[in-house]
């Protein structure tokens, strides 16, 4: 069931993003007087198609991992004399620039609308209260303590752990001090804390901002009650089911979910004698965690079970909601921040501050899309907005075969007064295909490594 949900979620996500992207090209092309031959969502053989009164074919194809808009163009085939004025290549350079840029801009617009809808409807976040501070960590040396609420990072106001993580990730590569403002429980004013860092998160795979600072968020106590059991994994094979509470392992009482996970991870391949409470009755269960090897070579036990969530206390929850006009401004700011963050992450990956293993391909996107869909509409829409921004940014990179590559050629043409030669464009196309192909293979490789 999880796999089916992941596949459906990624089809919905990619379908929306691609449709909006290609519609941007399509809409502006029509306004510039270019004839559009086909608007396709997906590649391969069309599963459904129809023609409109302008002669444009709208199609849904079999492979839902892309899409395209095909325009009338003399470089791609003969064009009747009476339709040459409708060809893309016959338009002035500024019209071609507008058509190329429209696709990525449509993705930024989709993200802005998504964030606006979230801010108007209201989002519920967890108040960023510190649960624990690791001794002798940057947080401890900076004077942070359990029970404090973080209110600002690097001078930027924060209201949730998500916003804190975004500010910390933006500081990757920093050396010196990170400034964090926090207030004690019941206090009205925050104090500034300076946390010493050196080459902050450089090449950490994956980046763990809070753990690296020695900060653990406050969380309610989680009893060792199973919320999900994965088919085919040791927990299911042992007969465990959602709702079971693990009360003891090998005769030793289990304090909470964290204690249960710790015991399981420490005993790969060993049989554990569990005492389980089900419907008020105690049962004995034998459970053998399978060995799972992490990327760093560490072997841990894994049983394929998840915790049953608990309600957060009201004082640790915060609702963020705005009126329609204010929400528009906030959505614009959030879209801009995420765009800058994405560009900065690409820059840091190129210069080696961020490991390339953080690249994600279709498998990871499918997993995250499925997870966010199961977490609720709010998480799913937020992920959709972020992915839309990423697609817009990546398409604007000056790499031939991408929109940014075509834009680069047209800007050179606008400056020089004549187009870039066909030979140069053909060479750029080969280089661009090699770059994009290499990135896709790397992303797929890291996807498979995460899955393995």
What number is the average pLDDT over the span 218-235? 90
Q: How many angstroms separate the CA atoms of 244 and 33, rounded? A: 65
Q: Is 37 part of any domain?
A: no
Instruction: Report yes or no: 107 and 388 within 8 Å, Cβ to Cβ.
Output: yes
Predicted local distance difference test score (pLDDT) of residue 58: 93
Q: Is 163 part of any domain?
A: yes
Q: Is 80 part of any domain?
A: no
Domain end residue (candidates: 188, 217, 246): 217
Q: Is 2 part of any domain?
A: no
Q: What is the dihedral of CA 357, 18, 66, 378, to 10 degrees?
A: 50
**Both structure tokens of 30:** 């029509």
| Overall domain count for the chain | 3
**Both structure tokens of 65:** 């991992």
Same domain, 383 and 452: yes
Same domain, 375 and 443: yes
Q: Under 8 Å CB-to-CB from 357, ≥6 apart: which residues?
A: 205, 206, 446, 449
Same domain, 440 and 330: yes
Q: How many angstroms separate the CA atoms of 50 and 70, rounded? A: 15
Same domain, 205 and 257: no
Q: How many CA atoms lie within 13 A of 362 on its CB side?
A: 12
Same domain, 339 and 446: yes
Q: How many angstroms separate the CA atoms of 388 and 250, rounded? A: 49
Q: Is 260 part of any domain?
A: yes
Q: Is 16 part of any domain?
A: no
Name which residue leads in pLDDT, 447 or 149.
149
Same domain, 97 and 159: no
316-359 residue pLDDT tens: 999 989 999 999 999 999 999 999 989 988 888 888 787 777 77
What number is the average pLDDT over the span 366-386? 78
Same domain, 329 and 417: yes
> Where residue 165 sits, what CATH number does that domain have?
2.30.42.10
Q: How many angstroms separate the CA atoms of 447 and 441, rounded? A: 10
Instruction: Report yes or no: 190 and 181 within 8 Å, Cβ to Cβ.
Output: yes
Same domain, 142 and 249: no
The phi, psi pair for 367, rounded to 5°, reads -65, -45
Instruction: Report yes or no: 133 and 215 within 8 Å, Cβ to Cβ.
Output: yes
Q: What is the dihedral of CA 419, 422, 424, 430, to 10 degrees?
A: 130
Domain end residue (candidates: 217, 247, 280): 217
Extended beta strands in 255-414, E state: 272-278, 281-287, 290-293, 299-302, 305-307, 317-320
88-112 residue pLDDT tens: 999 999 999 999 999 999 999 999 9
**Both structure tokens of 105:** 């801009």
* CB neighbours of residue 262 within 10 Å: 14
The phi, psi pair for 392, rounded to 5°, reads -65, -45
190-201 residue pLDDT tens: 999 999 989 888
Same domain, 185 and 241: no
Give 61's pLDDT tier (boundaries 50, 70, 90): confident
Q: Known catalytic residues? A: 22
Instruction: Report yes or no: 360 and 446 within 8 Å, Cβ to Cβ.
Output: yes
Same domain, 182 and 232: no
Extended beta strands in 184-280, E state: 191-197, 215-217, 226-229, 245-249, 252-253, 272-278
Q: Is 32 part of any domain?
A: no
Predicted local distance difference test score (pLDDT) of residue 172: 86
144-169 residue pLDDT tens: 999 999 999 999 999 999 899 888 88
Name which residue leads in pLDDT, 273 or 373.
273
Domain end residue (candidates: 186, 217, 248): 217
Same domain, 329 and 446: yes
Q: How many angstroms separate the CA atoms of 167 and 161, rounded? A: 10
Q: Is 107 part of any domain?
A: yes
What's the DSSP call for residue 146?
T
401-446 residue pLDDT tens: 899 999 999 999 999 989 888 888 889 889 988 988 888 888 777 7
First CA to last CA distance, the chain: 20
Whole domain around residue 277: which residue ranges?
226-308
Same domain, 161 and 111: no
Q: How many angstroms separate the CA atoms of 226 and 242, rounded? A: 5
């Amino acid at each position: 069931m999880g796999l089916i949900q992941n596949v459906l979620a990624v089809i919905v996500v990619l379908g929306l993003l691609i449709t909006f992207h290609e519609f941007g090209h399509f809409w502006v092309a029509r306004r510039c007087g270019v004839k559009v031959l086909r608007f396709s969502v997906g590649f391969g053989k069309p599963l459904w198609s129809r023609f409109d009164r302008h002669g444009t074919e709208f199609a849904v194809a079999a492979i839902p991992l892309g899409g395209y808009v095909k325009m009338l163009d003399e470089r791609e085939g003969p064009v009747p004399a009476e339709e040459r004025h409708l060809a893309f290549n016959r338009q002035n350079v500024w019209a071609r620039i507008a058509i190329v840029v429209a696709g990525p801009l449509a993705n930024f617009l989709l993200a802005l609308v998504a964030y606006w809808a979230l801010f108007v409807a209201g989002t519920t976040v967890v108040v960023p209260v510190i649960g624990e501070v690791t001794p002798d960590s940057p947080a401890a040396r900076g004077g942070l303590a359990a029970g404090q609420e973080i209110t600002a990072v690097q001078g930027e106001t924060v209201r949730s752990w998500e916003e804190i993580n975004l500010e910390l990730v933006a500081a990757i590569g920093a050396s010196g001090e990170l400034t964090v403002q926090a207030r004690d429980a019941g206090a009205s004013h925050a104090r500034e804390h300076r946390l010493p860092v050196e080459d902050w998160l450089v090449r950490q795979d994956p980046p763990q901002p809070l753990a690296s600072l020695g900060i653990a968020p406050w969380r309610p106590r989680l009893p060792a009650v199973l919320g999900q059991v994965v088919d085919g994994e040791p927990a299911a094979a042992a007969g465990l089911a959602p709702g079971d509470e693990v009360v003891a392992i090998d005769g030793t009482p289990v304090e909470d979910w964290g204690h249960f996970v710790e015991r399981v991870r420490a005993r790969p391949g060993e049989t554990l004698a569990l005492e389980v409470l089900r419907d008020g009755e105690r049962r004995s269960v034998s459970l053998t965690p399978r060995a799972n090897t992490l990327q760093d070579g560490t072997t841990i036990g894994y049983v394929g079970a998840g915790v049953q969530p608990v309600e957060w206390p009201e004082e640790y929850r915060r609702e963020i909601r705005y009126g329609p006009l204010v929400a528009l401004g906030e959505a614009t700011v959030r879209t801009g921040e995420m765009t800058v963050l994405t560009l900065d992450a690409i820059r840091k990956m190129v210069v080696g501050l961020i490991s390339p293993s953080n690249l994600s391909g279709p498998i990871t996107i499918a997993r995250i899309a499925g997870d966010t869909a199961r977490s609720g509409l709010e998480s799913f829409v937020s992920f959709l907005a972020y992915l839309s921004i990423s697609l817009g940014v990546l398409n604007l990179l000056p790499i031939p075969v991408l929109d940014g590559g075509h834009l680069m050629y047209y800007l050179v043409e606008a400056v020089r007064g004549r187009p870039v030669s066909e030979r140069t464009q053909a060479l750029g196309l080969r280089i661009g295909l090699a770059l994009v192909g290499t990135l896709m293979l790397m992303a797929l490789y890291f996807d498979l490594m995460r899955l393995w």
